[in-house]
Amino acid sequence: MEKYPLKRTGLSSPHNSPTYQAVNKKYTNGSRATYTANDDMIDISTSGSGTAGGDRSARLGEDEDGLSHYSVAFGGGVQESADIPGIGQYDDFHTIDWQRDIARDRMRHRYIVKRKQDSIWNLLEGAHDAWSGWLCVLAVGLVTGAVAGVIDIGASWMTDLKFGICPQAFWLNQEQCCWSFNDFDTGNCTQWLTWAQVLGTSKTGAGGYIISYLFYVVWALLFAALSASLVRMFAPYACGSGIPEIKTILSGFIIRGYLGKWTLIIKSVGLILSVSAGLSLGKEGPMVHIACAIGNILSYLFPKYGRNEAKKREILSASAAAGVSVAFGAPIGGVLFSLEEVSYYFPLKTLWRSFFCALIAAFILRSINPFGNEHSVLFYVEYNKPWIFFELIPFIGLGIIGGVIATIFIKANLYWCRYRKFSKLGQYPVTEVLVVTALTAVIAYPNPYTRMNTSQLIYLLFSQCSISNSDNLCDYNRNFTDVKSAIDIAPAGPGVYEAIWQLMLALVVKLVMTIFTFGMKVPCGLFIPSLCLGAITGRIVGIGMEQLAYNYPKMWFFSGECSTSDDCITPGLYAMVGAAAVLGGVTRMTVSLVVIMFELTGGVRYIVPLMAAAMASKWVGDALGRQGIYDAHIALNGYPFLDSKDEFQHTSLAADVMQPKRNETLSVITQDSMTVDDIEALLKDTEHNGYPVVVSRESQYLVGFVLRKEVNLAIANAKRMVDGICGQSLVIFTSGNPPQTLGPPPLKLKKILDMAPITITDQTPMETVVDMFRKLGLRQTLVTHNGRLLGVITKKDVLRHIKQMDNEDPNSVLFN
């Protein structure tokens, strides 16, 4: 009870407890993951004290009410019994047992199916149970779409607030303000006043510029300060992109409160604020976290999912798809992102539900229509030119450049995050945010391309030049009176060259600022900054290619396609390809990336360039540095994540990895010769999560496996409830009678014994063991030789062994 004084409250009622934020703060204060708990952690709260255990059981008994009235054999031969509540729950920072949870769910399902005939009510209950998965993802889709709409509208309004205000209706952003008064020239409408105008200065001129600059910086600081403070005070878990943690959680780890309602609220509000502050970050990654939090909260409405960690992860996978779906308006891309990048256990049923969830979310967002266009896609563009085969060379070139930029970003960002983690900097998160915001704002304002919203910049870079586009980027020497000439190829004007210089500056500024921004204690994603870096690079290369084609249209590699005056090169397409390349290099997404970009443009035609660039970028990235940003952050924080993409390349055997090592002894429980006192002493002396049960200490033939938690609960319960059980009572795991009849009555614990533990032999190669851990979702496996128990391998042992074989510090797992 001493070490984790608030733990039990957090555990029994993870989201409603008033002390919940305090719990969170204790474990994450100042750093994303400073928890000291580990896979073998003792749960002190239930051991040693009968009162505490009883108290807890009582409370958990209420919690489990909906489930406790069935008590039949389940899972690996274990009995779920109403008299030992709390079974099937996990402690914070523990690994879940997929097999057991899935078995528990099938048990429950069978029970409901069996009762269906009994009454109409039971039939309805059965129908509700069958539908609850669909209902749950429907609800998640609806709420995610709505929340995304609110965030989009809020961020758009507050971003414009930095520049000015709509006096007649302050709640409108610039575009809506101008439109609502039928003034469609957004750039110069009279209804929208810049802060300079509000203060009576002219819009242009030095005075106006300085006032606007000041307001820009002050608003940015205000937003950033608010965002960082909210995160620090109410929900430390709301910082960052959340994707590394979501990946870890979906792989079967418990981080209580990470997907709770406070995290959801603070992350949503903080995201609006930090995006509006003009920091170099995006809202797409955090949207995944927000969607998963929504999924987690709504899953509690459906006990089938809320009470079963393995089943809950099916909902979370669907939620992640919905998150990407609303972030980009790309439902198919979202599903593939969830499948490829985020999810761990992805049965086909989940594929279908994810798709449904993603679609509903996209549909709701489209109905809210935050962007005011009909496509519900952030960067909807339509190109009308096919690409030339020769262009594959610059596209692959962009892929290589993208991979290099991505590697620079990952390495620098990791260096900085590690520095933050292990230096005093980590103790001043709000100050850090303020300094970075101030720097960003001051540097960004003078350059029009960094001043504008990053999404707007990307959209501008993706677009084709048309008559209506008056940006410098489209300052070609064209005759604008002739509509047809707008699509002819033309020499670049001075505006284009100016734009190129500004873009190059913007590239450097964005790269540097993003390195410092990603990892700060505000909600921040890096999809948008990555896309932006790539789009800038791509557009510059595209303009270069375009001018090449203009000046040398007869070159063989343009193969005559540019000899007519048509514009055979689309610089916007290069921007898109470049964006895909950098994002692919940073995240190592492949198929989902291409599909997301494809959904943005809506044309199958450009898949080949996108894929060429994404592949080149991934290969360059893999060659220069093994991990994508998410995996790197997982490793940095030491999350217990067993990556299904990495192949285990070594030749070690189970015997090399198992605990105990040669000179230690294995802690086992015998099936019928230990007393309650013996077992309590064993539990006190060792810290394992569970203990193998053997026939006898001499023979070591394996009988089964019991969990520490369940032994504790059972003994505490028996002491309290059953007369005559004392320290001298024999504990018996067999079904027969005890060998002795004298002394106190024996304590029969066969019902908590898992008689079907997964076992392997000591000669099993570790690659098979790793495969089994991944595919079967194991917490531990028992190692035998000719039927005799030799040792145990836990997931932590596996992770440590992998680190060791890769010449990394094995102790970085789970501790930091």
| Alpha carbon distance, N-terminus to C-terminus of the chain | 23
Residue 379 found at the interface with a second copy (CB under 8 A): no
Cβ proximity to a second copy: between 611 and 676 the closer is: 611
How would you classify the pairing of strands 702-707 and 690-694? antiparallel
Among 27, 305, 355, 574, binds a second copy (CB under 8 A): 355
Residue 768 found at the interface with a second copy (CB under 8 A): yes
As beta bridge partners, residue 788 has 701, 785
Among 549, 695, 713, 770, binds a second copy (CB under 8 A): 695
Among 167, 207, 603, 724, binds a second copy (CB under 8 A): 603
d(CA 719, CA 715): 6
Q: Which residues in 232-281 belong to E strands, given as ranges?
A: none
Rounded to a whole number of angstroms, the minimum distance from the CB of residue 355 to a second copy is 5
Q: Are 150 and 171 in contact (CB under 8 A)?
A: no
As beta bridge partners, residue 704 has 693
Residue 31 found at the interface with a second copy (CB under 8 A): no
Q: Are 358 and 141 in contact (CB under 8 A)?
A: yes
d(CA 351, CA 337): 11
Residue 351 found at the interface with a second copy (CB under 8 A): yes
Residue 736 found at the interface with a second copy (CB under 8 A): no
Work out whether the CA dihedral 375, 377, 381, 382 comes out positive or negative: negative
Residue 75 found at the interface with a second copy (CB under 8 A): yes
Letters for 787-816 (x = contact with a second copy by CB under 8 A, - = none) are xx----------------------------
Token pair 């996978």 in the structure block, residue: 317
Among 667, 759, 804, 816, binds a second copy (CB under 8 A): 759
Residue 599 carries which side chain, given as an amino acid letter? E
- Of 205-213, 518-526, 599-607, 792-800, the segment contacting a second copy by CB under 8 A is 599-607
Q: Are 667 and 691 in contact (CB under 8 A)?
A: yes
Rounded to a whole number of angstroms, the minimum distance from the CB of residue 374 to a second copy is 8
Rounded to a whole number of angstroms, the minimum distance from the CB of residue 778 to a second copy is 11
Letters for 633-652 (x = contact with a second copy by CB under 8 A, - = none) are -----------xx-x-x-x-
Residue 598 found at the interface with a second copy (CB under 8 A): yes
**452 half-sphere exposure, CB direction, 13 A CA radius:** 16
Cβ proximity to a second copy: between 339 and 683 the closer is: 339
Residue 589 carries which side chain, given as an amino acid letter? M
Among 765, 803, 812, 816, binds a second copy (CB under 8 A): 765
Cβ proximity to a second copy: between 492 and 702 the closer is: 702
Chain centroid to Cα 773, Å, comes to 21
Residue 191 found at the interface with a second copy (CB under 8 A): no
Identify the H or E element spanning 615: helix 607-624
Using alpha carbons, list the distances in angstroms from residue 505 to 42, 181, 448, 513. 54, 37, 11, 12
Nearest to 521 by CA among 273, 256, 321: 273
Indicate the burial class of 371 (C-beta count within 10 angstroms; 0-12, 13-18, 19 or more): buried
- Of 1-9, 207-215, 597-605, 795-803, the segment contacting a second copy by CB under 8 A is 597-605
Among 66, 775, 808, 809, binds a second copy (CB under 8 A): 775
Residue 392 found at the interface with a second copy (CB under 8 A): no
Cβ proximity to a second copy: between 498 and 646 the closer is: 646
- Of 105-113, 194-202, 475-483, 569-577, the segment contacting a second copy by CB under 8 A is 105-113
The one-character DSSP state at 689 is: S
Nearest to 520 by CA among 261, 220, 274: 274
Cβ proximity to a second copy: between 325 and 675 the closer is: 325
Among 5, 30, 48, 77, binds a second copy (CB under 8 A): 77
Residue 50 carries which side chain, given as an amino acid letter? G
- SS3 breakdown of the chain: % helix, strand, coil, rounded to 5? 60, 5, 35
Cβ proximity to a second copy: between 93 and 773 the closer is: 773
Residue 372 found at the interface with a second copy (CB under 8 A): no
Residues 6+ apart with CB under 8 A from 672: 730, 732, 733, 734, 738, 739
The one-character DSSP state at 658 is: P
Residue 359 found at the interface with a second copy (CB under 8 A): yes
Residue 340 found at the interface with a second copy (CB under 8 A): yes
Q: Are 134 and 168 in contact (CB under 8 A)?
A: no
Instruction: List the interface residues with a second copy, window 84-103 (CB under 8 A).
Output: 99, 102-103
Token pair 């970085």 in the structure block, residue: 812
Residue 488 found at the interface with a second copy (CB under 8 A): no
Residue 757 found at the interface with a second copy (CB under 8 A): yes
Residue 425 found at the interface with a second copy (CB under 8 A): no
Rounded to a whole number of angstroms, the minimum distance from the CB of residue 65 to a second copy is 25
Size (the chain), residues: 816
Cβ proximity to a second copy: between 486 and 753 the closer is: 753
Rounded to a whole number of angstroms, the minimum distance from the CB of residue 1 to a second copy is 36
Among 590, 659, 673, 812, binds a second copy (CB under 8 A): 590
Among 41, 255, 335, 489, binds a second copy (CB under 8 A): 335
